[in-house]
Amino acid sequence: MKIICIGRNYVAHAQELANEVPTSPVVFLKPQTALLKSGDAFYHPEFSKDIHYECELVLRIGKAGKYIQEEFAYKYIDAYTLGIDFTARDLQDIQKQKGLPWEIAKAFDGSAVVGEFTQVKDIREELPIYFTFYQNNVIKQHGDTNLMIFSIEKIIAYVSQFFTLQQGDLIYTGTPAGVGKINIGDVLRAGIAEEEIFRVLVK
């Protein structure tokens, strides 16, 4: 399986990092070794002094597809959850300045937290999805699929031009505003309508 991530999918988040609002989705990948299940600890790596949380809606692909049309995109999603796209912001800033790829800042072990999945027949019936992310019981991010620059359908159509989607692939749909630094000892958790979807302790 592969993990496909969308960057800058909320206007307010693009602005907080002083990025342009994109005209097509910003896409990057993480390997399977990046996965970290809810309940597991995240061990803060030594290569970064500025790891940021980015809480995101995560879609799971239920069947293979390529060149998927927007109108049929919902058929390829069999579940959703919340996750974190951990980002070594200090390394990413260096890579961005040099115009180099982001993998060392984005795709490291444990950088893709994934929560408990909710199975769906038709993701459109679940929308809009609102979510809340907490760092040590303080609300830090609010997500709302209505505020995405690129809709779930547009994301599926766009990325499936380049990558054949396969059963079990995950798509991280971008983070809303409010990203910030994590610290050892933090409890990071997120929920949808009072239901906890994931919880991770930073060690």
Shortest Cβ distance from residue 102 to Zn ion (Å)? 10
- Cα-Cα-Cα-Cα torsion 162, 82, 35, 123, nearest 10 degrees, comes to -40
In the list 175, 182, 188, 198, the residue contacting Zn ion (rule: CB under 5 A) is: 175
Shortest Cβ distance from residue 84 to Zn ion (Å)? 9
Applying CB under 5 A, the span of 84-92, 93-101, 116-124, 140-148 interacting with Zn ion comes to 84-92
Tell me how long the chain is: 203
Residues 6+ apart with CB under 8 A from 161: 66, 67
Query: For residue 100, what are its two tokens?
Result: 């180099």
- Counting contacts by CB under 5 A, is residue 85 touching Zn ion? yes
Q: Considering beta carbons, is residue 65 or 174 the nearer one to Zn ion?
A: 174
CA distances from 160 to 47, 124, 146 (A): 33, 19, 22
Q: Considering beta carbons, is residue 55 or 65 the nearer one to Zn ion?
A: 55
Shortest Cβ distance from residue 125 to Zn ion (Å)? 25
- Counting contacts by CB under 5 A, is residue 54 touching Zn ion? yes
- Counting contacts by CB under 5 A, is residue 9 touching Zn ion? no
For residues 163 and 151, give the distance between their C-alpha atoms in angstroms, rounded to a whole number.
Answer: 18
Q: Considering beta carbons, is residue 35 or 65 the nearer one to Zn ion?
A: 35
- Counting contacts by CB under 5 A, is residue 111 touching Zn ion? no
Q: What proportions of the chain, in percent to the nearest 5, are helix, strand and coil?
A: 25, 40, 40
Q: Which residues bind Zn ion (CB under 5 A)?
A: 54, 85, 175
